[in-house]
A and B are shown apart, each in its own frame.
Chain A
Amino acid sequence: MNLTIIWQLLETVCDPEVPVLSILDLGIVRDVAQIKEQIVITITPTYSGCPAMNVIEMDIRGVLGAAGFKNIAIKNVLSPAWTTDWLSEQGKNKLKAYGIAPPVESSGHVRVLFGRSPVVECPQCGSKKTQMVSLFGSTACKAMYQCLDCLEPFDYFKCLK
């Protein structure tokens, strides 16, 4: 069977917490395979405690089921661990258009202590004069920022490497 149709259907499954991203944009679908009569979809969580994973599994079953694919197995893998490097370019653009600053590439190693926060561009006005308000935000994957020019608060999809 040609699995392209499965990939196309998965493109319509969205992250329930950031609905502008499909699970393919997010990079959490690691593999689609056919084993005998069954379609096996391998996914990986963004964060260990991400509460969206159960909903995503249900949504995958829903979308594929509605298209007539009933014999499905969803496999959860932890390794290799998800990284924001797997966010597609399209995904990053969608985030920005939605008002969430996409992760800024840091140069290689993540500084743990006393690292200055990266320069994050305001998704509203494009200013680089922004400051971090809190390292943790409305979901596990985001931090809270504020623009010092247009003064709008915004979410930053933080780097996970």
Chain B
Amino acid sequence: MNEQLLDYTLRLADTALILGHRLSEWCGHAPALEQDIALSNIALDHIGQARNYYQYAAKIQNMGKTEDDLAYFRDERAYRNLLLVELPNGDFGKTLMRQFLYDAYHVPFLELLQSSKDENLAAIAAKSLKEARYHLQWSAEWVIRLGDGTAYSHQRVQQALNELWRFTGELITPNTIDSFLRSYEISADLNQVQLAWEKTVLEVLKRATLVVPTQKWMQKGGKEGIHTESLGYILAEMQHLQRTHPNCNW
């Protein structure tokens, strides 16, 4: 069971790290100072959450590795993050939409994970949940503001929604690891997450006057390490220093 638990914990860690990394790319570039600060704060929360998951993953692995080894010395195929979070930022509207689609999943996911039979995951989830609620409030309000804003902002976020939609199925579709750990009441029940996710997404998109895409086909693979072309570039940038000068310090 350790093998599955490690895979699951790494998925949570990788997803948090990659999303945090993506959001941090906005630092100094957001359209307004307040939103620049908001994006950096949210990035920091995700990276903090990633550290907690990586520290736990290193313990499960029990091979004397650290959180840094796990983040910096694994290749693309070993990464287990959800595809949605590795997609490029695009414009501010696309980043916002990606964040909203993720937050609407992240909050109910953590609400369930905090009752996990694995007490470490439960503790990290309970901690992260308080932060995720603020993220969702922020991203949902922005989706509404841009969707129900000008004709141009509406068109831009609608386009973002259409482009991102096919990456949302993976959030709420269990793979073999999810199902296996579900039988031990360790992983979150994604059927319940799905219900909550759909409710939030439909409500917010309606308020934002956006049209829910009808596309049914969903892209998957992140949970198994099969990624889009974007992940390799992120890892190249993120891991470059440690790969060049292994274990270097400040």
A-to-B contact residues, CB < 8 Å? 45, 47-51, 77-83, 110, 112-115, 133-138, 140, 144, 158, 160-161
The closest CB in chain A to the CB of B203 belongs to A113
Contact present for B130 and A81 (CB under 8 Å):
yes
B-to-A contact residues, CB < 8 Å? 34-35, 37-38, 41-42, 44-49, 51-52, 107, 119, 122-124, 126-131, 133-134, 136-138, 140, 200, 203-204
Chain B residues near A83: list those with CB within 8 A: 130
Contact present for B38 and A112 (CB under 8 Å):
no
Partner of B48, one of A50, A80, A112: A50
The closest CB in chain B to the CB of A158 belongs to B134
User: Closest CB-CB distance, A59 to chain B, in whole Å?
Assistant: 19
Partner of B119, one of A79, A113, A133: A79
Contact present for B34 and A47 (CB under 8 Å):
no
User: Closest CB-CB distance, A132 to chain B, in whole Å?
Assistant: 10
Chain A residues near B138: list those with CB within 8 A: 135-136
User: Closest CB-CB distance, A37 to chain B, in whole Å?
Assistant: 26
Question: DSSP class of B's interface residues: helix, strand, loop or mixed?
Answer: helix
Chain A residues near B107: list those with CB within 8 A: 112
Q: A48-B131, A112-B107, A113-B140 are in contact. Are A79 and B126 (CB under 8 A)?
A: yes
Number of A-B contacts (CB under 8 A): 84
A-B contact pairs, 29 of them (CB 8 A): A47-B44, A47-B48, A48-B45, A48-B124, A51-B44, A78-B52, A78-B124, A78-B126, A78-B127, A79-B126, A81-B126, A81-B127, A81-B129, A83-B130, A112-B133, A113-B140, A113-B200, A113-B203, A113-B204, A114-B140, A134-B34, A134-B38, A135-B38, A136-B134, A137-B37, A137-B41, A138-B37, A144-B34, A160-B130
Chain B residues near A136: list those with CB within 8 A: 34, 37-38, 41-42, 134, 138
Contact present for A135 and B126 (CB under 8 Å):
no
In the bound complex, what is the Cα–Cα distance between A64 and B77 (angstroms)?
A: 46
In the bound complex, what is the Cα–Cα distance between A135 and B134 (angstroms)?
A: 8
Q: Known A-B contacts: A48-B52, A48-B128, A134-B35. Give 8 more (CB < 8 A).
A: A48-B51, A49-B51, A79-B126, A81-B123, A110-B130, A113-B203, A136-B34, A136-B37
Contact present for A135 and B119 (CB under 8 Å):
no
User: Closest CB-CB distance, B206 to chain A, in whole Å?
Assistant: 12
Q: A78-B127, A113-B204, A133-B34 are in contact. Are A49 and B140 (CB under 8 A)?
A: no
User: Closest CB-CB distance, A77 to chain B, in whole Å?
Assistant: 8
In the bound complex, what is the Cα–Cα distance between A102 and B201 (angstroms)?
A: 33
Chain A residues near B41: list those with CB within 8 A: 136-137, 140
Q: A78-B52, A113-B200, A133-B34 are in contact. Are A49 and B46 (CB under 8 A)?
A: yes
User: Closest CB-CB distance, A85 to chain B, in whole Å?
Assistant: 12
In the bound complex, what is the Cα–Cα distance between A81 and B113 (angstroms)?
A: 14
Chain B residues near A160: list those with CB within 8 A: 130
Q: A110-B133, A135-B134, A135-B138 are in contact. Are A49 and B49 (CB under 8 A)?
A: yes
Contact present for A48 and B42 (CB under 8 Å):
no
The closest CB in chain B to the CB of A51 belongs to B44
Shortest 10 CB-CB distances between A and B: which pairs?
Answer: A49-B48, A48-B48, A79-B123, A134-B34, A136-B38, A49-B44, A136-B41, A81-B127, A78-B123, A48-B49
